[in-house]
Homo-oligomer: A and B are copies of this chain.
Amino acid sequence: MIDEPAPRVVSDMEANDVASREAGVRLVAVAPGTARAVLVVEPRHLNGHGICHGGYLFLLADTAFAFACNSHGVPAVAAGGDITFLRPVTAGVELVAEAVEKELTGRSGLYDVTIRAGAGADAEVVAEFRGRSRQVPGLTAQR
């Protein structure tokens, strides 16, 4: 899905990220400091209020963030993240998460991820995420 040559850590991560793939998340782009991932909301993603569970919005954002912060080829892990839910999302909507690097100082990174309902220029923002990463040079993606 990702254009070659991607850093080894990214292609390994993509091959091995069972969690996001089984959740329905699809990685559509990775470049240095950025990543884009999409999720079509299905009935299995809905919470008790009949809207997309915040956990899946976070999982989508966190996945885009993970690929963005590993995009430089140095393994990195999420130290934490904050998400603000702006609008409810119903089944059938295609969510697009765009991750961009705000800062990378030493081994610490800060990334913003915006989730929109759809890909058009007028697509509404449904959530804003900010993630904190930490590079861990020794870490390897699992095979």
A contact residues vs B (CB 8 Å cutoff): 12-20, 22-23, 43-50, 52-56, 58-60, 62-63, 66, 75, 77-88, 102-103, 105, 108, 110, 112, 125, 128, 130, 132, 139, 141-142
Q: Which of B58, B66, B102 contacts A48 (CB 8 A)?
A: B66
Residue contact A102 to B87, C-beta cutoff 8 Å: no
Which 8 A/B pairs are nearest by Cβ-Cβ distance? A55-B59, A50-B142, A13-B48, A19-B53, A17-B48, A80-B84, A82-B82, A58-B58
Asked whether, in the complex, the Cβ of A14 is within 8 Å of the Cβ of B48, the reply is yes
Question: Which residues does chain B contribute within 8 Å of A53, judged by CB atoms?
Answer: 17, 19-20, 59, 62-63
Task: Report B-chain residues with C-beta under 8 Å of the C-beta of A88.
Answer: 77
A13 CB to nearest chain B CB (Å): 3
A105: nearest chain-B partner, CB-CB: B86
